[in-house]
């Protein structure tokens, strides 16, 4: 049976028996949440599909006829840490780029896993962007150094996700070299680039990715240890560059780590947030401190070196307690309102929503990549992309024209093949109802038999 296109509205609602979940009563997490976590983490389903499964499984609260996507997402983030802690495995960083419906095995080996192919592809997509900004660090005399392999950031991603870079580019669209803000390390900058380019990430990156030289086509990877210091540095850089979505993503990541019980904070972060008047993040940390343990807080208040802004903020937050904290609130919009930087009341989207919209594009691109593999065009395309990138950097005009022409030809072949695949898939779709019935009949013996391995139906854009 063909797998239907992941992003188009499904004419047949998903069937819970197609996504069997295990329930372990010893975990202390109710069955509905265990299923939800498995649908999202192990099958990689989109939240809107999980919502249909949630309703079909009879998990709605008595008297309710539906559940909001945000409410569901909140259930997921609230129960995930406990679930994995009870299982004795680390909370996985979800590979949101995995194909939907493909179950993966969770366990300690995930932590040791090398970087995902998708992250490598994204790394190259950023470097191969037609227009890039090169970042230069300062030498000991505060002068920009001459780095032969500066970190690169796609201009379109910079424009879209960073207010500071957008205003630089609006001022001069040809700007292509920027000096890195003081005290920002190469690693932190690289992580920031991964967070926004070529698209927003839903979780911090898992590996540092670099190339040895500017023209090298090999990527060097190193797993990232997300310490408090590393997260703070990335947070402050994102804040300085006006990348609110990254700030909010980091806040959510910290909250997930805190709930899992393995996270420490320090006063430097709080002082800086208070000095910056970064109220969403400051309120988040104040609420966390207040919720943790009041007595300990008093001790810390005496011991820690908190600046005046921080003390004032803490006093005023304490006086508001009970009315403001949204830490354990079921509504994502309340969490956004208190701790995120976007303005939902002005229609500004949360990064969670932005990432889920990107995901739809990704499945189309993934389908095209799969088709390129099938036609044995992948290596050719990759080589031409590298040639094109090098030609641009070396100002080799003829090389650029040649590579572009060859790429266009390959894309033309792909587009034609996609149309044929689309027609074939439409024909197969005609038989869907019959195979669905037979799947339902044998679902007890082979519950996942409907998860075919055929090429997904694709859409040509
Ligand atoms: Zn939000």
- The answer as to whether 36 is a domain residue is yes
- Are 215 and 393 contacting, i.e. CB atoms less than 8 angstroms apart? yes
C-alpha dist (Å) from residue 286 to 73, 236, 255: 23, 18, 12
What integer pLDDT is reported at residue 151 of this predicted model?
Answer: 96
- The answer as to whether 162 is a domain residue is yes
Residue 177 CA to ligand 1 center (angstroms) comes to: 32
Q: With 0-12 CB in 10 A as exposed, 13-18 as middle and 19+ as buried, what is 303?
A: exposed
Do 37 and 77 have their domain in common? yes
**Boundary (domain end) residue, out of 320, 341, 362:** 341
Share of the chain above pLDDT 70, in %: 79
Do 143 and 224 have their domain in common? yes
Do 81 and 179 have their domain in common? no
Strands 132-136 and 152-154: antiparallel
Residue 71 CA to ligand 1 center (angstroms) comes to: 13
CB-facing half-sphere around the CA of 456: CA atoms within 13 A: 22
pLDDT (tens digit per residue) in 380-423 = 888 888 888 888 878 888 999 999 899 889 888 988 888 888 88
Residue 56 CA to ligand 1 center (angstroms) comes to: 28
- As a whole number, mean pLDDT of residues 452-458 equals 32
Number of domains in the chain: 4
pLDDT (tens digit per residue) in 202-242 = 999 999 999 999 888 889 999 998 888 899 999 999 999 99
Do 73 and 84 have their domain in common? yes
Residue 62 CA to ligand 1 center (angstroms) comes to: 28
What integer pLDDT is reported at residue 301 of this predicted model?
Answer: 62
- Are 52 and 13 contacting, i.e. CB atoms less than 8 angstroms apart? yes
pLDDT (tens digit per residue) in 11-51 = 678 888 888 888 888 888 999 999 998 888 877 787 888 99
Residue 360 CA to ligand 1 center (angstroms) comes to: 19
pLDDT above 60: residue 279:
yes
Residue 318 CA to ligand 1 center (angstroms) comes to: 23
> Which of 65-69, 187-191, 328-332 has the least mean pLDDT?
328-332
- The distance from CA 20 to its chain's CA centroid, rounded to whole angstroms, is 25
pLDDT (tens digit per residue) in 57-97 = 999 988 888 888 888 888 888 888 888 888 777 666 554 43
Residue 342 CA to ligand 1 center (angstroms) comes to: 6
Rounded distance between C-alpha atoms, residue 365 and residue 368, angstroms = 5
Residue 280 CA to ligand 1 center (angstroms) comes to: 11
What is the span of the domain harbouring residue 103? 16-111
Residue 267 CA to ligand 1 center (angstroms) comes to: 25
Q: What's the CA angle centered on 18, arms 15 and 21, to 5 degrees?
A: 105
- The answer as to whether 99 is a domain residue is yes
- As a whole number, mean pLDDT of residues 108-136 equals 80
Q: For residue 202, what is the domain's CATH number?
A: 3.30.710.10
> pLDDT: is 169 or 432 the higher one?
169
> pLDDT: is 447 or 13 the higher one?
13
pLDDT above 50: residue 429:
yes
């Amino acid at each position: 049976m063909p797998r239907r296109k992941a992003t188009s509205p499904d004419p047949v609602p998903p069937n819970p028996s197609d996504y069997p979940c295990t329930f372990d009563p010893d975990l202390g997490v109710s069955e509905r949440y265990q299923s939800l976590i498995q649908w999202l983490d192990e099958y990689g389903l989109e939240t809107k599909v999980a919502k249909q499964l949630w309703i079909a499984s009879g998990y709605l609260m008595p008297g309710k006829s539906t559940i909001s996507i945000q409410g569901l997402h909140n259930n997921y983030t609230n129960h995930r840490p406990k679930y994995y802690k009870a299982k004795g495995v680390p909370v996985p960083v979800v590979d949101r780029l995995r194909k939907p419906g493909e179950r993966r095995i969770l366990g300690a080996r995930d932590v040791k896993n090398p970087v995902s192919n998708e992250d490598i592809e994204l790394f190259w997509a950023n470097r191969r962007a037609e227009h890039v900004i090169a970042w230069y660090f300062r030498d000991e005399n505060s002068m920009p150094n001459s780095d032969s392999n500066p970190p690169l950031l796609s201009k379109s991603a910079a424009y879209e996700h960073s207010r500071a870079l957008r205003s630089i580019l609006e001022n001069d669209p040809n700007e292509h070299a920027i000096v890195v803000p003081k005290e920002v390390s190469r690693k932190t900058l690289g992580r920031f680039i991964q967070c926004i380019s070529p698209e927003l990430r839903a979780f911090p990156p898992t590996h540092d990715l670099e190339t040895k030289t500017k023209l090298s086509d090999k990527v060097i990877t190193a797993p990232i240890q997300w310490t408090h210091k590393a997260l703070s540095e990335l947070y402050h850089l994102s804040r300085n560059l006006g990348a609110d979505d990254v700030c909010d993503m980091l806040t959510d990541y910290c909250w997930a780590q805190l709930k899992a019980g393995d996270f420490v904070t320090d006063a430097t972060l709080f002082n800086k947030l208070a000095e910056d008047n970064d109220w969403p993040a400051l309120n988040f940390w104040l609420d966390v401190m207040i919720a943790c343990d009041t007595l300990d807080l008093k001790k810390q208040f005496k011991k820690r070196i908190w600046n005046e802004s921080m003390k004032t903020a803490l006093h005023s937050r304490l006086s508001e307690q009970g009315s403001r904290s949204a830490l354990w609130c079921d509504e994502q919009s309340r969490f956004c309102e208190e701790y995120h930087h976007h303005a939902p009341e002005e229609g500004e989207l949360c990064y969670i929503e932005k990432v889920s919209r990107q995901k739809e594009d990704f499945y189309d691109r993934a389908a095209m990549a799969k088709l390129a593999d099938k036609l044995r065009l992948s290596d050719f395309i990759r080589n031409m992309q590298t040639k094109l990138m090098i030609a641009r950097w070396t100002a080799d005009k003829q090389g650029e024209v040649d590579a572009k022409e060859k790429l266009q030809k390959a894309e033309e072949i792909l587009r034609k093949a996609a149309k044929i695949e689309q027609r074939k898939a439409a024909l197969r779709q005609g038989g869907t109802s019959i195979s669905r019935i037979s799947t339902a009949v044998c679902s007890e013996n082979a519950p996942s038999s409907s998860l075919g391995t055929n090429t997904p139906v694709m859409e040509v854009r």
